Amino acid sequence: MQPKLQTLTELLNQHLEREYQSLTQAKSTLEQLHETLVRGSIAQLESLLQLSQQQAEEILATRQNREKVCSEFAGCFDIPVGSVNLSAVISRLPVSLAHQVAEYRDRLPPLA
């Protein structure tokens, strides 16, 4: 099971990076939309709305990927999919892999 957990851990870290990048971009676009609305720039607003639509599609794809990763871990750990979160995964992984995921999670700054 160790090789499968190693592969899943790598997929999880890749997913976390994609999700972080996607949400960071969406946050930036929302901030730009706010500024554009304040300034009243219709041309820029249309451009940003198109960009936000593309980002929404990316976020949906990322969510689908998260569901797949959660399903894989749920099957591996024999727990309900709804119970899979980073804390649950970290607590069930072997120490070396748990440490790797925890380190990766801690490197990602909060989006607030």
pLDDT in tens, 62-75: 999 999 999 999 99
Question: Containing H/E element for 21?
Answer: helix 2-39
Q: Which tokens in the block code for residue 9?
A: 């851990």
Q: Are 16 and 104 in contact (CB under 8 A)?
A: yes
Going from N- to C-terminal start, the domains of the chain cover: 2-107
CA atoms of 88 and 80, how far apart (whole Å): 11
Token pair recorded at residue 36:
């554009």
Torsion 48-50-51-53 (CA) sign: positive
pLDDT of residue 6: 92
The residue ranges of the chain whose pLDDT is under 50 are none
CA dist 90 and 77 (Å) reads 11
